[in-house]
Amino acid sequence: MESVEERVIKIIAAQLKIKDKARIKRDADFYELGANSIDITDIANALEAEFGMSISETESVVTWTVQRAIDYAAVHKKE
């Protein structure tokens, strides 16, 4: 089974059409990876669906780094 980190990176790569997952650095924010606000919403929705969780309205997903997404999913997943 894939780890939380692998699953989050797979989602980000798919949403942003990044073929080389090695380009996805843990300290990069979504904008640095080429995302726009619609992409970020799509990433958040995909994370919620994948991990059966809700991302709190108080979370500012637009400022998240890849590592923040991994950490949030690890803590809040409903598997």
**What predicted TM-score, i.e. pTM, was given to this entire model?**
0.93
One-letter amino acid for residue 72 of the chain: Y
Which residue range forms the structural domain that includes residue 22? 4-76
As for how many domains the chain has, the answer is 1
Rounded alpha-carbon distances, angstroms, from residue 10 to 27, 49, 57, 58, 78: 16, 13, 24, 25, 18
Residue 79: the pLDDT is 67
Question: Taking 90 as the threshold, does the pLDDT of residue 57 lie above it?
Answer: no
Q: Which residues of 23-61 are buried (b: 16+ CB within 10 A; e: fewer)?
A: ebeeeebbeebebeeebbebbbebbeebbebebeeeeeb
Residue 64 CB neighbour total at 10 angstroms = 20
What CATH number corresponds to the domain at position 49?
1.10.1200.10
pLDDT digit string, tens, across residues 32-51: 999 999 999 999 999 999 99
